[in-house]
Chains A and B, each alone.
Chain A
Amino acid sequence: MLDSFLGHYAYYTTTALMAVGMWGMLVKNNLVKKLIGMSIFQSAVILFFVAGASKHGATVPILEETLGLEDASLYANPLPHTLMLTAIVVSVATTGVALAILQAIYKRHGTLEEDEVMERMQE
């Protein structure tokens, strides 16, 4: 049990982070906190991918003279890394758009608490 945990600690951590993020998104009342939750959630998934790319005794996926090219198991899997670079960009863009929207909400309604905004929306 313990070494299953030790062996897979990365995955358990990411799962926990995902749960935290989701909780923040769904339960919190403040819109900024929701956004933070979303960000955490996305980061958790990114971490998951990166964790999946790692291998025992492997190094970062940058070509090193001493290790050479023949043995792929000496380098961590570069593909998820590239995918996650893209995903990070997407995450940044999403956060940017969301922040802009939050600004607009604040300008219109004067508050960033969800229940207050919903009240003011009905007027």
Chain B
Amino acid sequence: MGAMETYTSLVPLLVILVSLTAVPLIVAFGNRPNIREAWTLGAAVVKFLLVFSLLPAVLDGRVAEIVLMDISPNLQLALRADTLGLFFALLASGLWILTSLYSIGYVRGAQEKKQTRYFASFALALSATMGIAFAANLLTLVLFYEVLTLSTYPLVVHKETPEAIAGGRKYLLYTLSGGLALIVAVAWTHLIAGPVTFQAGGFLYGLVEGRDAVLLFMLFAIGAGVKSAIMPLHSWLPAAMVAPTPVSALLHAVAVVTAGVFTFVRIIGFVFGPTLLQDIGVWNWLAGLAALTFILASLLAFGHDNLKRRLAYSTIGHLSYIVMGTSLLTPAAMTGGILHIANHAVMKITLFFCAGAIYVKTHKENVSSLNGLGRRMPITFAAFGVAALGLAGIPPSSGFVSKWLLGIGSLQAGQGILLAALLISGLLNAGYLFPVVYRGFFLRPDGISAGEEAKWQVDEASYMMVVPLALTALLSLFLGLFPNGVFHFYDMAKAVAAAVLGAG
């Protein structure tokens, strides 16, 4: 962001504080569900509006900044809304509104207990996510990273069954370990470079080299890799599917994992920088590992009949697209990778929304039991189909746009084999997602003959769930046709790539 000018503004801080203040309010009104939900929705809307208000300035090249306090001598807790940060914040806050609406429908429909704890943890998790997005330096990012881990734990173990508790333990084990690796990496960086904030093109070049640099990068990679579910650090993600579906939707398809890949982009682009990375030669290993991950994950997805687990493996795969894109260090690949953060989020959240709606209405969790439901829940299954198209990379959905860019980027980097891998995984994606649509619309439900079907008592889930999933499905199409529509995601992704690669 060489040409960016900064100005001090309270808005980044307010964005974080909005949902933070919602937490005690939610707890206080625990016994009045409607008011309590109003706080959640209100906070989500206000947050989104605040974030959106920063967009014009960022597109103009002006970055809002605020330094909060010294969190350690010479290290400051500081927030900065630069292009990448705003990208993530817009995405997360916008989707939170829809997820909150969906959550309300879900917990009421499924009659979950401990709803207050659920909504309060959600609000706290979103505050942490905003903190990560707007973090101006590594230590601030790490602090919010750990808070995110903690605030999502009650959400993962929400159901309080033995499976949930076990899933929670695995989640915690992986994410805390990753967090510790990250902390050590940040401490080392601080000792090498002093109190530096993120800079496009990195700031470590010249300060560290050779074996030390590789070691440092590996520490960072482990730290961010756990949250990004890179293999072999990915096992927590399928295990965390014991959480209620809205949790899986936002947090594990959007916020937590996206925080992970976001951190990766920060590290690659704003800490190490392309020159240093090319010098130490890790980028091709990382890209290769990512490609391996998405092929493997796509194959593993076939083996899981449980819908949410299948979607979990799909997430693992797509996150690796992003990591691969970023590590290829070419303009198109990087733009594609960053853009895919948004595209994947929108599409994946649609899929999870659909899975949750199906569960609430029919208590069915497995793909093989979804026969015939499409005829009863047409909107849900149609949305699923649209999102599936996107994930497979078929135009005119947004998934196609990012995949196209990733493909071009691979060629630019001279790694044609990665293009092949992309195409193959696109086919695999179609392979494990389309059966859902096919079964839903074209097969007869098990155990019910043609004649009885008309009396089958199943229909769409409540509007609070159906509206969000329809909206996100439509959004994925919209972003495919107009990648810059409303949110300017494409422009922002391109700007980040240019800044990182141009300056470094």
* A contacts B directly (C-beta below 8 A): no
Using a CB–CB cutoff of 8 Å, the interface residues on chain B facing chain A are: none
